[in-house]
A and B are shown apart, each in its own frame.
Chain A
């Protein structure tokens, strides 16, 4: 399942503030690209640009050849871009099961009319959906929690649930926004294994924004570095680690 995301000279201005400037970024095939940079570099902003929360002031975004610059989140999800959020955004009133179920509905075959007529095809479709949800929950070891309110889970499992939910939309590209935030070292190792597992099993591309160097250096094949909205370096973890511009930008910041 090959994919290609292309950001071409993307600039985003909010009034007088330039958040992102002339950014070129590409993710293709089954890349695992890491996006790093000091605080305020614009990493989450880039995410929001890719996922349609913000519209770029200049430049174009292409996904698998289609220009998606002005597309909003729901359309992008349909095209195959899924994301998680820096501050975990689960649906608080829904159970673990329903959180994933809500995401499966993107590719469901039944709609309002079926829901109202409640005929045989509706019940069959619902069974298919339920099976899909349980399959994913079991795969990610969340099945026993299926009826718990999503926000009652421990932090690490909430993060896992959010990733499962994103995967339920059958994406071709998965964007993870600081998934390791707030995790202890054990949880981080779990997370790294999880991301690797997801990439291998679903054969998708992953774009990862992260502060934690252990995680980034551990799993990313390529890394792009942002500072003040500009890309200052890109390459393999080894190259980036040694790049003087990168070291300069991070001066004064401490990472594990």
Chain B
């Protein structure tokens, strides 16, 4: 029983990270009906942003403190929000009226560009860098279970962000506009909604969440490197599809589900070699049998 609960907590922590990334995929798909391949790279950039911010902030605030960690996360999120909006503006917006295929190819191009540019010596270099400790590392003992401070951090922050996101999407004008666009873009435009601004906002929001995910992922990982976003990105995308692409609670649910499943399966040695294959297999199975996901609706094409 203890082992089960222990894995569960670890799984929830990992799942929260996936959920944060998945939300970005699903939000962008909701408003633009397209898969932002470059999203996982923004997550990586968030981790790197935190990496470079940590020593800078150490001059101002105490390093390895909750306050500085918070500041780093917020700043990294802000930086990535801007990056996300920039990508949308430069690479996706000009292709808004074109067939979906063109944007998809461009997204792949952007993703490869970020990855290969960051791998170049002049930028980050391909080598893995150890990630600094942002918060005091402590293992708390609760009812016979060992919970790491990183895990607690990610659970608390994710819960907060999910609540914040829910509030934004349900109660603010921006959020309602996002939902309007995802239901019916032409009608939303006719209602006076500034489509460009809302789409920018969506990208910014999704990228900020990805950045936070990137920081927490880095805290658990042995180190950071330019290709670190690929694997979690794949899991998160699968999660978004599992939950129903375009559906926000679905993405969160999917993320947690995949995180928990992966943690439980992680103990099985045979499966670990096939990890990439398994993630893709789940994705393919869902797309083939229930493309609308667990919580999504099937779309009917109007002829």
Contact = CB atoms under 8 A, between A and B. Distances in A.
A115 interface: no
A40 to B, nearest CB: 13
B83 to A, nearest CB: 37
A44 B303 CA distance: 8
A122 interface: no
Looking at chain B, what size class is its interface with the partner chain?
under 10
Contacts of B123: none
Interface in A19-65: 44, 48, 53
B300 interface: yes
Contacts, number: 5
A48 B300 contact: no
Contacts of A14: 300
B300 A85 contact: no
Q: Chain B at the A interface: mostly helix, strand, loop or mixed?
A: loop
Task: Give the interface size bracket for A toward B.
Answer: under 10
Nearest to A14: B300
Contacts of B300: 14
Contacts of A85: 303
A14 B300 CA distance: 9
A85 B300 CA distance: 17
A17 to B, nearest CB: 10
A48 B303 CA distance: 8
A53 B303 CA distance: 8
Nearest to A45: B303
A48 B300 CA distance: 13
Nearest to B297: A15
A85 B303 CA distance: 8
Interface in B272-303: 300, 303
Contacts of A44: 303
Contacts of A48: 303
A14 B303 CA distance: 15
Interface string A69-93: 0000000000000000100000000
A14 B298 CA distance: 10
B97 to A, nearest CB: 15
A13 to B, nearest CB: 12
Contacts of B303: 44, 48, 53, 85
A14 B297 CA distance: 12
Interface string A176-209: 0000000000000000000000000000000000
5 contacts: A14-B300, A44-B303, A48-B303, A53-B303, A85-B303
The 5 closest A-B pairs by CB, nearest first: A53-B303, A48-B303, A14-B300, A85-B303, A44-B303
Interface of A: 14, 44, 48, 53, 85
